[in-house]
Amino acid sequence: MKKTKSYLKNFVGTSYEVGTKIGNWVLAQPNLLKKVILPPKAYPQSKLTEIFNLLDQYSSGVNKEIKGFADIIGISKEQAVFYAMTYLERGCSLMSAASNKTDFGHTLMARNYDFNDEMEEMCFAYTAISGKYSHIGSTLNLFGRCDGMNEHGLAACKASNGLPVGNFEGGQKAGVTGFSFWVVIRSILENCKNVEEAISWAMDAPIGYNINLMLADSSNNIALLQCINGHKAYRILHKDSEQNFLISTNHTVLQEVKPYEKMIIENSVIRYKTIEKMFSEKEKVSANDLKNILSTSYPQGLCCHYYPEFFGTLRSMLFDTTDKKIETTFGSPKANDWKTFMVEKLQEEEVIVNLPCEKAEKDFYNITY
């Protein structure tokens, strides 16, 4: 059994002040510090200028936050890996159930986030930037967010969609110049109150990442937006919609963007069908039903322990947007307890995380075209 840590942090203040707090935290974590900075002049200035301008337009404050971080660390802000982070494939499973599909009338969203623990800072934070909506969620590259819920009860999470995008062997060139998912999630949580506003933001913003974006809000709306090679489509379900659940794993399901898909990983289809079977067989689903499918080992469920292969469950999450709370496990739900968080300041602590490492079967990574 491998062990690691998750960090519970509070980041409150102006953008610059929060950046200095992040800097002081990272300075005390030498292993993390190595992951989040680049050598001087490692990234072209022309690309940096474009990124700075896009962030100021669609996610204002992040550049100031990184400046505060850089001033504490003693580097130029251009050295923050957040700006230049290359894409790495993450395998995730997402689902949402409208209030008329759950046994107690609450809107629920759930997800497993599967990746490699050594590539993550493993931090869950409460963030309250002056002039922005406060939120709780998982940080990525320090200044991005991978998932979360804000003070209005809007929740967001993501899964990768299709062939990896990035500047590495085997990766494809992005269809458009734009944001990766960690900017998308953070910007939505800080600037949008509900599903409609989040979809409007995402449809307008340049997104260079192939993303499956799942959303739910406190007004009983759920949504799925899929972006592949710059092409976008979405579905919004309201409490009176005939369809009352949504599913997404790591392939395209919306017909408008399906023609742009180049490949499908077989395990993504198997996970999708597993979730679909649960929703189809149950007239109403409970919170425990969603936790059980997150906790059951693949292929009967969604939980994976292939951490060295970048497909280990780093957290399972259940979002109740009616009660504005998140239940989560740090690490596999088979080896770690569920914890409950509201959108409020956290008790800062380090949490020991158990990671039972296993090896995937060879056919787990089969690809179909």
Express each pLDDT in 332-366 by its tens digit: 999 999 999 999 999 999 999 999 999 999 899 89
Question: In the numeric block, which tokens belong to residue 233?
Answer: 């489509």
Cβ count within 10 A of residue 130: 12
Phi, psi (rounded to 5 degrees) for 335: -130, 5
- Report percent pLDDT > 90 for the chain: 78
C-alpha distances out from residue 257 to 180, 183, 204, 316, Å:
18, 22, 17, 28
Which amino acid, one-letter code, is at 62?
V
Q: DSSP characters for 271-299? A: HHHHHHHHHHH-SSB-HHHHHHHHHSBTT
Number of alpha carbons in the 13 Å side-chain half-sphere of residue 4 = 21
pLDDT at residue 164, rounded to an integer: 53
Tokens 């963030």 locate to 127
Out of 3.40.980.10, 3.60.60.10, 3.40.190.10, 3.90.1300.10, which CATH number does the structure's domain 91-361 have?
3.60.60.10
Report which residue type is found at 221.
Answer: N
Whole-prediction pTM: 0.93
Segments making up each domain of the chain, as ranges: 2-84, 91-361
- Give the C-alpha separation, 199 to 256, whole Å: 16
Instruction: Specify the residue for token string 């997800």.
Output: 111
As a whole number, mean pLDDT of residues 226-253 equals 95
Whether omega before 259 lies within 30 degrees of 0, making that bond cis, reads no
